[in-house]
Amino acid sequence: MKIALYPGTFDPITFGHIDIAVRASKIFHKVVAVVAENPGKKPLFSISERLEMVKEAFSEIPEIQVESYSGLMVNCLNDFGATVLIRGLRALSDFDYEFQMAFTNRNLRSTAETVFLMPSSRYIYLNSTIVKQIAKLGGDISSFVPKYVMQKVHKKFNNEICN
């Protein structure tokens, strides 16, 4: 059985993330969406909040399992019996970083492969940072994230403003 990991911070998960994971699930027998703890980022949502949102997003897709992980993704590959990392490429600006990460991961674990998927054209510009910026300024994010996620994002910003 071919298992692939789709790691990300998912802060918050967007329709672009969902698009990539669903398309990957049509290629691999099982996809594990890994909600990663990235020490280089300061997420808006806690790991448990992100995990909850990602689980909800994939609740009706049995081929996609959701887990959290705080170590190196090459070790996570081992833990789940996977050999492939799924990464989304939106634009040329993503390529340099992803290219470096793919070769670093292969250097750390020679059997690690990275498969790049491009999102559907309607999500090519979409990322979590944009979603948070729009929401923080009171904008409508309903075309970027599921309703459940939208409610969590707006609640988070309303709580920050009130405190």
* pLDDT (average), residues 152-156: 93
So what's the pLDDT on residue 14? Answer: 97
* pLDDT (average), residues 12-23: 97
Of 152 and 160, which is predicted with more confidence? 152
- In this model, does residue 13 exceed pLDDT 60? yes
Give the whole-angstrom CA distance, residue 107 versus residue 40: 21
Picking from 2-6, 22-26, 123-127, which range would have the lowest pLDDT averaged per residue?
123-127
- In this model, does residue 162 exceed pLDDT 50? no
Segments making up each domain of the chain, as ranges: 3-125
The pLDDT > 90 percentage for the chain reads: 84
Q: In what order do the strands lie in the sheet with 84-88?
A: 64-69, 30-36, 3-8, 84-88, 113-117
Phi/psi at 113 (5° precision): -115, 150
Binned at pLDDT 50, 70 and 90, residue 161 comes out as very low
* pLDDT per residue as tens digits for the range 54-81: 999 999 999 999 999 999 999 999 999 9
Largest CA distance in the chain: 50
Which of the residues are catalytic? 17, 41, 90, 128
Q: What is the pTM of this model?
A: 0.92
* pLDDT (average), residues 88-93: 82
CATH superfamily assigned to domain 3-125: HUPs (3.40.50.620)
